C-alpha cells in the first residue's frame, strides 16, 4: 500500500528516514508492534479507519 494516493513510496521512505535513526530500528517492537508475539501488556486501543 505504499503507492496509494496520497502516500507514495517516496513519501513513505521520507517518513521512515525521519522517524528512525537507523533502518534496523524498524524491527523494534516499539516501532512495529506487529512484530511482537505477545501484546498482553499493552493498553487497550481503538483504531478507526475510513476510506476517501
Is the Cβ–Cβ distance between 20 and 13 less than 8 Å? no
pTM of the model: 0.50
Compute the distance between CA of residue 13 and CA of residue 17 in angstroms, rounded to an integer: 6
* Count of domains observed in the chain: 1
DSSP state of 32: -
Residues 6+ apart with CB under 8 A from 28: 35
26 within a domain of the structure (yes/no):
yes
46 within a domain of the structure (yes/no):
no
Full residue range of the structural domain in which residue 26 is found: 1-30
User: Mind listing the pLDDT tens digit for each residue in 1-52?
Assistant: 556 677 888 888 898 889 999 888 988 988 888 888 998 888 888 989 887 6
Is the Cβ–Cβ distance between 16 and 22 less than 8 Å? no
Amino acid at each position: 500500500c505504499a503507492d496509494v494516493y496520497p502516500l507514495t513510496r517516496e513519501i513513505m521512505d521520507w517518513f521512515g528516514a525521519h522517524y528512525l535513526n537507523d533502518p534496523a530500528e524498524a524491527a523494534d517492537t516499539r516501532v512495529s508492534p506487529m512484530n511482537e508475539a505477545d501484546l498482553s501488556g499493552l493498553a487497550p486501543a481503538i483504531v478507526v479507519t475510513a476510506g476517501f
